[in-house]
Chains A and B, each alone.
Chain A
Amino acid sequence: MTEKWKDEEGAQNFWYRGKVTRRRVIGWGGGAIGAVMLVPAPWRAAFGAAKPYKIGSEQPLSGAGAAGGKTALVGLQMAVDRINQMAGIMDRPIELVIADDESKPDVARRKTQKMVEEDKIDVHVGGFLSNICLACMPVWEEAKIVNMISVCLDTTLTTSKCNRYSFRVHDYAPAQAVAFGPMLAKMGKKWHIAYADYSWGQSTRDAYAAEIRKNGGEVVGTTGIPLGTADMTPFLSKISGDFDGLFGIFFGKDGVTIGNQAYDLGLAKKYKWAGDGAICESANLPALGNKIDGFVAINRYVPIFQGALDTPHHHRFFDEAKKRLAKIDRSGPLPDRYVQSNYEAMNALKHGMEMSKFETREDTMKLIEALEGLEMKLSDDFPQGDKTLRKADHQAFLNQFLYTVKGGQFELFEMVPKDKTIVPPACKFPAA
Chain B
Amino acid sequence: MTTGPLSKSMPLTTKLSHTAVFWIGFCVVMAVLIVAPLVLPEYWRRFLTEILIWGLLAMSSDILIGYTGMVSFGHSAFFGLGMYGAAAALLIVSPPNLWLAILFGLGGAAGAALFVAYFSTRLRDIYFAITTLIFSQIFYVIIFTWTEVTGGENGLIFSRPHFTIPFLYDTRFSTATLHWFVLAVVAGSYVLLRRIMQSPFGMVLQSIRENEARTRAIGYPVERYKIVAVMLSGLFAGLAGVLYAVQNQFAAAEFVFFTTSGDTVIFNVMGGIGTLVGPIVGAGFFQLIRELLSRIFGDQFPYLIPLGVIFIVMIIFLPQGLLGFARRWLNR
Question: What residues make up the interface of A, taking CB atoms closer than 8 Å to B?
Answer: 61-62, 98-100, 104-106, 109-111, 113-114, 117-118, 130-131, 134-135, 137-138, 154, 156, 161, 197-200, 202-203, 224, 226-227
Within 8 A of A (CB), among B105-163: 141, 144-145, 147, 151-155, 157
Q: Which of B141, B147, B155, B300 contacts A134 (CB 8 A)?
A: B155
Q: Which residues on the B side are within 8 Å of A200 (C-beta)?
A: 153
Q: With A and B bound together, what is the CA distance between A99 and B47 in angstroms?
A: 17
Report whether B154 and A117 are in contact in the complex, using a CB–CB cutoff of 8 Å. no
Q: Could you tell me if A117 and B145 are in contact, using CB atoms closer than 8 angstroms? A: no
Given contacts A130-B154, A131-B254, A202-B147, 7 further A-B contacts (CB under 8 A): A106-B255, A109-B248, A110-B47, A131-B154, A156-B154, A199-B151, A199-B154
A15 to B42, CA, bound (A): 56
Q: Is the interface of B mostly helix, strand, loop or mixed?
A: helix
B-side contacts of A224, CB under 8 Å: 145
Give Cα distance in the complex from A151 to B69, angstroms. Answer: 46
Residue numbers in B under 8 Å from A61 (CB-CB): 299-300
- Contact A199:B157 (CB < 8 A) given known A111-B299, A113-B46: no
Distance, CA A199 to CA B156, complexed state (A): 12
Q: Which 8 A-B pairs have the closest CB atoms?
A: A199-B152, A117-B43, A198-B153, A117-B42, A105-B252, A199-B154, A135-B250, A138-B249
A sample of 18 inter-chain contacts (CB < 8 A) reads: A61-B299, A61-B300, A105-B252, A106-B252, A111-B299, A113-B46, A118-B41, A130-B153, A137-B157, A138-B250, A161-B157, A197-B145, A198-B144, A198-B147, A198-B153, A224-B145, A227-B144, A227-B153
CB pair B157 A134 closer than 8 Å: yes
Using Cβ atoms and an 8 Å threshold, which residues of chain B touch A109?
A: 248, 250
Q: Which residue of A lies closest to B301 (CB)?
A: A100
Contact across chains for B155 and A135 when beta carbons are under 8 A apart: yes
Q: Cβ of A99 and Cβ of B43 under 8 Å apart?
A: no
Question: Would B145 and A98 count as touching, CB distance under 8 A?
Answer: no
A131 interface neighbour in B43, B50, B141, B153, Cβ under 8 Å = B153
The closest CB in chain B to the CB of A119 belongs to: B43
Query: Which of B145, B154, B302 makes the CB contact (< 8 A) with A226?
Result: B145
Question: Main SS of the interface on chain A?
Answer: helix
Minimum Cβ distance to chain A for residue B280 (Å):
18
Q: Determine the residue in chain B with the shortest Cβ distance to A132.
A: B252
| Residues in chain B within 8 A of chain A (CB atoms) | 41-43, 46-47, 50, 141, 144-145, 147, 151-155, 157, 248-250, 252-255, 299-300, 302
Alpha-carbon distance between A21 and B38 when the two chains are bound, in angstroms: 53
Question: A98-B299, A110-B50 are contacts. A105–B155 as well, Cβ < 8 Å?
Answer: yes
Closest to A115 in B: B43
**With the chains together, A90 CA to B43 CA distance in Å?**
31
Which residues from A are CB-within-8-Å of B255?
Answer: 106
Smallest Cβ distance from A406 to chain B, in angstroms?
A: 34
B31 to chain A, nearest CB (A): 25
Cα–Cα distance between A113 and B254 once the two chains are bound (Å): 19
**Nearest chain B CB to A69's CB is how many angstroms away?**
10
Most interface-central of A100, A131, A200, A203 (chain B CB within 10 A)? A131
For A106, what are the chain B residues with a Cβ–Cβ distance below 8 Å?
A: 248, 252, 254-255
Report B-chain residues with C-beta under 8 Å of the C-beta of A227: 144, 153
Most buried by B among A110, A118, A130, A156: A110
Chain A's closest residue to B158 (CB) is: A138
Query: Which listed residue, A99, A198, A226, touches B299 by the CB 8 Å rule?
Result: A99
Q: Which B residues are in CB contact (< 8 Å) with A105?
A: 155, 250, 252, 254
Q: Which of B141, B145, B299 contacts A100 (CB 8 A)?
A: B299
CB-CB under 8 A from A199, the residues of chain B are: 147, 151-154
Contact of A135 among B41, B152, B157 (CB under 8 A): B157
CB-CB nearest in chain B for A114: B43
Question: Is A154 within 8 A of B249, CB to CB?
Answer: no
Whether the pair A104, B254 counts as a contact (CB closer than 8 A) is: yes
Residues of A contacting B50 in the complex (Cβ-Cβ under 8 angstroms): 110
C-alpha gap A99/B157 in the complex (Å):
22
Closest to B253 in A: A131
Q: How many whole Å from A212's CB to the nearest CB in chain B?
A: 20
A117, B252: Cβ atoms closer than 8 Å: no
A226 to chain B minimum Cβ distance, whole angstroms, is 7
Distance in Å from the Cβ of B217 to the closest Cβ of chain A?
45
Q: Which residues of A contact B299 (CB under 8 A)?
A: 61, 98-100, 111
- State A345–B153 Cα separation when bound (angstroms): 24
